[in-house]
């Protein structure tokens, strides 16, 4: 199977989130090859998962309270808050099939994607481990302080975690990788492509993004493009 590799983009997070949402909706409307894209935030942003429906829901987030000047944008996928700016992010938008499809369930797909990331980091000289059910994992809404099973840890801290949205046989997986002390994303992207190809048995081919999709994302992101929704409700 071929996966489409879309161009790497550095931009503010509302635009990135809008692009992922539009790609997700496009896959629902018109079945096509899975799309994979890497991106980064052009400035610090916090993304908040879909469990945060109102500004008041952020009141207990220590990440938000500790970063009062960092704007917050909504995320279509689940999970808690994530601080972006130095991390590498990727999104996978794909249809999933019957029970033997590795993307079929949240648990299986999450583990497989992280297996690919683990291979990539190992090939770059790191030695990450999976969090397991045997690890004491307290619950909280700041994603990188409260890991879940199958997240990746290295040197005593979480370095990779993801969140998903599923609807009508399509999944959107968003992944944040935060490797301390490392600059530049090119080598990491190449390694992750190799890891995912090994785990899923796929070929990744470069593809172009429809310019109209980018323009739609810009329009969709305008309400959040320069401000936080800390003081407003999300619909």
pLDDT of residue 181: 67
The position carrying tokens 């499809």 is: 101
pLDDT tens digits, residue range 132-169? 877 877 777 788 988 888 999 999 899 999 999 999 99
pLDDT over 60 at 26, yes or no: yes
pLDDT of residue 232: 38
CB 89 within 8 A of CB 176: yes
Query: How does residue 234 score in pLDDT terms, banded at 50, 70 and 90?
Result: very low
Burial pattern 86-109, b for ≥16 Cβ within 10 A else e, equals ebbbbbbbbbbeeeeebbeeeebb
- Our CA angle for 145, 195, 33, nearest 5°, is 100
pLDDT of residue 36: 98
Catalytic site residues?
Answer: 143
pLDDT tens digits, residue range 108-124? 999 999 999 999 999 99
Tell me the pTM. 0.91
CATH 3.40.225.10 fits 2-224, yes or no: no
Domain positions in the chain: 2-224
pLDDT tens digits, residue range 178-213? 987 665 799 999 999 999 999 999 999 999 999 999
């Amino acid at each position: 199977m071929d996966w489409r590799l879309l161009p790497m983009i550095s931009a503010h997070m509302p635009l990135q989130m809008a692009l992922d949402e539009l790609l997700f909706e496009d896959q629902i409307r018109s079945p096509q090859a899975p799309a994979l894209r890497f991106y980064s935030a052009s400035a610090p942003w916090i993304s908040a998962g879909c469990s945060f429906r109102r500004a008041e829901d952020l009141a207990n987030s220590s990440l938000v309270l500790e970063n009062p000047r960092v704007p917050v944008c909504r995320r279509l996928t689940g999970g808690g808050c994530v601080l972006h700016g130095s991390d590498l992010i990727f999104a996978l938008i794909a249809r999933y099939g019957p029970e033997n499809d590795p993307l079929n369930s949240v648990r299986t797909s999450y583990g497989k994607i992280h297996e690919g990331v683990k291979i990539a980091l190992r090939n770059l000289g790191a030695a990450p481990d999976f969090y397991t059910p045997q690890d004491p994992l307290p619950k909280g809404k700041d994603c990188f302080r409260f890991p879940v099973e199958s997240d990746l840890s290295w040197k005593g801290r979480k370095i990779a975690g993801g969140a998903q949205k599923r609807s009508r046989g399509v999944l959107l997986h968003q992944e944040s990788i935060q490797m301390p002390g490392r600059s530049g994303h090119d080598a990491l992207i190449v390694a992750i492509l190799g890891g995912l190809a090994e785990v899923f048995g796929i070929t990744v081919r470069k593809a172009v993004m429809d310019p109209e999709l980018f323009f739609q994302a810009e329009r969709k992101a305008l309400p959040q493009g320069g401000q936080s929704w800390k003081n407003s409700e999300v619909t």
